[in-house]
């Protein structure tokens, strides 16, 4: 997905604050699903969440206000009790960050559950090698 850097996402160093990227990764996962006919909203409305259990970001180069950031997202691991996404963030051709998030399927009460078969089958065709 592409997104435009918001002014509110900058800090007094004059560049994007590092926490903003974490919000972008989430938006990129949701769009990654949408592009594949999957709806994170439907998943949530069905009582399931993909809670974030792990987060890693490597910041390589700054992003600035009004930059267009492209986020390439890939599902690189899919198990019944966790899933992993990798990300590469670009401004034009410049790689500005890489990231990985791990997720645990949880129910409405926040308890870890097995990924239901229908969602597992829906995700499986989109699994890529890390």
Query: Nearer Cβ to a copy of itself, position 34 or 79?
Result: 34
Closest CA to 69 of 86, 57, 87, 85: 87
Q: Is 12 in the site for a copy of itself (CB under 8 A)?
A: yes
Q: Is 8 in the site for a copy of itself (CB under 8 A)?
A: yes
Select the residue interacting with a copy of itself from 2, 4, 47, 124 (CB under 8 A). Answer: 4
Cα–Cα distance for residue pair 52/106, rounded to 1 Å: 10
Q: Is 37 in the site for a copy of itself (CB under 8 A)?
A: no
Cβ atoms 25, 101 nearer than 8 A: yes
Select the residue interacting with a copy of itself from 35, 56, 121, 128 (CB under 8 A). Answer: 56
Cα–Cα distance for residue pair 113/115, rounded to 1 Å: 6
Query: Strand, helix or coil at 33?
Result: helix
Question: At closest approach, how far in Å is the CB of 6 from a copy of itself?
Answer: 5
Cα–Cα distance for residue pair 33/42, rounded to 1 Å: 11
Give me the residues that bind a copy of itself (CB under 8 A), please: 4, 6-8, 10-15, 17-19, 22-23, 26-27, 30, 39-41, 44, 49, 51-59, 62, 65-66, 106, 110
């Amino acid at each position: 997905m592409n997104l435009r850097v918001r002014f509110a996402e900058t800090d007094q160093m004059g560049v994007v604050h590092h926490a903003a990227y974490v919000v972008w990764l989430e938006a990129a996962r949701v769009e990654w699903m949408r592009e594949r006919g999957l709806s994170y909203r439907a998943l949530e409305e069905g009582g399931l969440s993909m809670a974030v259990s792990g987060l890693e970001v490597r910041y390589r180069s700054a992003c600035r206000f009004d930059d267009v950031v492209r986020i390439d997202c890939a599902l690189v691991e899919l198990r019944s009790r966790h899933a992993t996404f990798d990300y590469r963030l670009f401004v034009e051709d410049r790689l500005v960050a890489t990231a990985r998030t791990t997720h645990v399927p949880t129910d409405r009460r926040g308890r870890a559950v097995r990924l239901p078969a229908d969602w597992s089958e829906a995700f499986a065709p989109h699994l890529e090698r890390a």
